[in-house]
Every structure is written in structure tokens, then in C-alpha cells.
Structure 1
Amino acid sequence: MTHILLDISRVVAPADLHIILKRKLDFPDVYGMNWNAFWDAITRMVKLPKKITISGWDVLEERLPKEADSLNELLKDYSVRYTNEIFTV
């Protein structure tokens, strides 16, 4: 998988966002639906695609600003720590 689209424009609760992340990024059934589990999944369980396009980001920031901040920070941290991989969001 080299590119995926995450449409988060209909997210109204943190669980909605985690369900989308789980499905689109092929997280295992044991995914804990929280930010610690997200980090574990992207660093130990799955290989992220080279490019992730997120649509509806402005909606997420408005409805769930803490979730938007968490996702943003974790993806930034991933791109800094795993510099040997080509990765863009």
C-alpha cells in the first residue's frame, strides 16, 4: 500500500476516528482504540503507506481539537523518528 485516503469529515467522537484509523491502516483486532495503542500499531504492528491524505481535517480540528492535536503530533513524531522511510501526510 503506497497511498491511502482518510476521510475524517464525519467524525463526531474519538471512537469514530479510531475506527477509521483501524480499518484504513489495517490495524489488528487487538488495537486498543487510544493514542498509546495507535503509536504501538504504527511503530510495531503495521507498515504505514508512503503517503496518507487526510480529508476533513478542519472538521476534526473544530469538533475534536484534542484528537486532532494527538494525531498530528504522533504522525509528526513518526516522521522524525523513522527518517529512513519516505512518509508524507
Structure 2
Amino acid sequence: MLTIDVSSVSSEDELHALLKREFDFPYFYGRNWNAFWIAVTGLVRIPDQVRFVGWASLLDRVPAGGRMLRLQLDRYRDEYRSDLLIEYG
């Protein structure tokens, strides 16, 4: 299981930097939601279990980014990885 602490993220750019590091996206990752989709669907393999810690804090500080991340990961699970377990805590 990969645990990602998003509790201190205060901007969408910080969120993308954290996702890049934790999911081991390539150096050329564009730090936007289109680039995120491309990365998770073709450039890296997301672990079978991902747990986000500090989710409520992320939604307070970066609500649009938090919603978009969840939307993207839910879509990824629905279209590519029905076995993917994601926890938002």
C-alpha cells in the first residue's frame, strides 16, 4: 500500500509535485490534470492500494484539486483497474 500525506498541501501545484514524487511520474510530468491522466494511464503503474492521509485538510485548502484528483482516480479505477483500492482519510 502506498500512503500519501496530503495534509500540508496548500496549492494545486504542490499537489501535483507531491503526486509526481509519490507515484514516480517521469521528470517531464506537466503538473496538470491532463498530464496526470496520461501518466496514470500509460506511463506508470499505480499501486493496487493507495491511501491518502489528511484528505479533509486538502479539501479545505485546495478543494478543486482534491475533487479533481478523486474524479481522475475514480475514472482510472472504473476504466482500467476495477481492483484498485483508494482510501481518502
Which range, TM-score by smaller chain? over 0.9
**Superposed CA offset, 1:30-58 (max 9, x none):** 10000000000000100000000000100
One-letter code aligned to 1:18: H
> TM-score, normalising length from structure 2?
0.93
Instruction: Tell me how far 1:86 sits from its aligned partner.
Output: 2.1
One-letter code aligned to 2:26: P
The aligned counterpart of 1:21 is: 19
Unaligned stretches of 5+ residues in structure 1: none
- Which of 5, 8, 23 is the matching residue for 2:6? 8
- Which of 68, 75, 78 is the matching residue for 2:76? 78
Q: Cα RMSD (Å) of the superposition?
A: 0.9
* Counterpart Cα distance in 2 of 1:20 and 1:6: 8
* Counterpart Cα distance in 2 of 1:14 and 1:67: 6
Q: Count the aligned residue pairs.
A: 86
One-letter code aligned to 2:84: F
**Runs of 4+ off more than 6 Å:** none
Identical residues among aligned pairs (%): 37
